[in-house]
Amino acid sequence: MQIGLSWNLTFLVAFLGLLVSLTTKILSSPVLLILLLPLLFVLLALGFFFLNILLGYVLDVSGTPVSNPLPLAARPLAFSTPAAWQAALTRSQWSHKSPQSLPPLVPESPAISAAVNDILILIVRDFVLTWYKEVSSSPSFPTAVSATIHASLQRLLTRMTSMDVSAVVVNRIFPNVTAHIEQFRQSEIALRGAGLERRLTQSVELDLLLASRYVSRGMGRLHSAVDNLSTTFTKQTEEAHLRALVDRALPHILPENEARSTAVKIVVREIVACAVLYPLMDMVADPDFWNRSIDQVNSHSSTVCRLTIFVFGIFGPST
C-alpha cells in the first residue's frame, strides 16, 4: 500500500516538474508560445467542458433524489397558476358580449336601437378587425370596443336631451355653411369672371389659386387643418385636428372607468379620429360621392314616377 502511494507521489511530482519546465520554456520563447497558443485554447476548452460534466455528475450523485422533478424545472409565473388562469377565463367569458346583447340605446324605438347595433358591428368590422385580426384571434378587444362605443353613445344621447339640437343647427351650423358657400362663390367669380366664362382646367394648382384668392380677398380664413397653401396633401394636419377634437370630447362621453385610463383614451382617440372620422370626412368632401348620391336619389324618384304613371294609366287616378 505504501509502495503504491509512493509511486503515485513520484509520478505526480515528475509530472508537475515536467509541466513547470515546459511552461517556463514556452513563456521564455514568444515564437513557441504563438505556435502553441491554438493548442492551449483547445485544451482549455476541453478541460472546461469535462470539468462541467464532472461537476454535474458529482452534484447529481450527492443530491437528494426527487420523485417528480418537473415542477422544479422552472418557477411558474403568477398568472399561470390554475386559480389565476381560471379567473382570467371567467372574466373573458363575462366580457364577451356581442352588440346585440347590449341594452338598447333607444328603448322606445327597437328599430333605431337595432340599426345602431348594426352600425357598431360595421365599425368594429371595418375599422378594428382589419388590423386586430393580425395581432390576436381573441374577441375580447373588439367586444370591449363595442361596449365602450355603446356606453359613449348612451352618454352622448343623455347630454343631447338637455340641448336644443334644432336651435344649434339653425342658429350656428346653417349660417356658417351659408356664409362659407357664399364666400367660395365670390372667390370663384373673382377668379373666373362674373359669368364663370373663363374655362380653366381643373388641377391642383387651380385649387391652390382659388384657396389663396379666398384668403386674399379678406372674405374669411381657411380651416386650420387645411391652411397650408403650399400643398394639397393635408392628411397629417387633418388627422391632428381630428385628434384634438376627439381629445376634447372623450372626457365628456367616455365611461368614467375608461376615461381615467390614458392607454384607453389614446387607443379610442386613434381609432375614432384616424380610422372612423378621417375616412368619413374624406368621403363627404369628395364631389363624386354627392354626384352618385344625387343620381341614386333621382333614379329612385324617376322609377317611382314611372311606376305611378303606369299604375294610373292602368287603373286610373281613382285607385
245-263 per-position pLDDT tens digit: 888 888 888 887 777 888 8
Structural domain ending residue among the three candidates 145, 160, 175: 160
Structural domain ending residue among the three candidates 113, 145, 160: 160
Structural domain ending residue among the three candidates 107, 140, 160: 160
Domains in the chain, number: 3
155 in any annotated domain: yes
Structural domain range at position 311: 294-319
310 in any annotated domain: yes
Q: What is the pLDDT along the chain (319 residues), one digit of tens a residue?
A: 555 556 666 766 676 677 777 777 766 777 766 777 777 788 788 878 888 888 877 777 776 665 555 555 555 565 566 666 666 665 555 455 555 567 777 778 888 888 888 888 888 888 788 888 888 877 777 888 888 888 888 888 888 778 787 888 888 888 888 887 887 777 777 776 655 555 655 666 666 677 777 766 655 567 777 766 666 677 888 888 889 888 888 888 888 777 788 888 888 888 888 877 888 888 887 878 888 888 777 776 666 666 666 566 665 555 4
217 in any annotated domain: no
Residues 48 and 102 occupy one common structural domain: no
The pLDDT, as a whole number, for residue 141 is 79
39 in any annotated domain: yes
Amino acid, res. 187: S
The pLDDT, as a whole number, for residue 288 is 85
113 in any annotated domain: yes
237 burial (CB, 10 Å; 0-12 / 13-18 / 19+) is middle
138 in any annotated domain: yes
The pLDDT, as a whole number, for residue 10 is 74
32 in any annotated domain: yes
Contacts of 92 (CB under 8 A, 6+ apart): 138, 140
124 in any annotated domain: yes
